[in-house]
Amino acid sequence: MIETTQKIIQIGSSQGVTLSKKDLIKLGAKQGDTLKLKVELVSVNDKHEKLLREYDVFVSKYGQTLKNLANK
């Protein structure tokens, strides 16, 4: 069993959440397996929400540059 907090994201014309490869390995799950999920909405404080928005802006602006640097 894993416990994780994920943000709802746009996936094509739908919205959804993703699971990290690390968590899937921990579960022993792979593509095509069926998972049982229990979901609850998490209330995030304003400072945390602001930090997440700033991070999203940073990644959208500099994400490719950071990937290029990591691959050098």
**Tokens found for residue 34:** 């069926």
Residue 4: predicted pLDDT: 86
DSSP assignments along 7-42, one per residue: --EEETTEEE----HHHHHHHT--TT--------PP
The answer to whether the pTM exceeds 0.75 is no
Residue 4 lies in a domain: no
Residue 65: predicted pLDDT: 92
Residue 58 lies in a domain: yes
Residue range(s) defining the domain that contains residue 60 = 9-70
Residue 1 lies in a domain: no
Mean pLDDT, range 2-15, rounded to an integer: 91
Residue 62: predicted pLDDT: 93
Residue 3 lies in a domain: no
Domain count, the chain: 1
pLDDT in tens, 17-67: 999 999 999 999 999 999 999 998 887 677 787 788 889 889 999 989 989
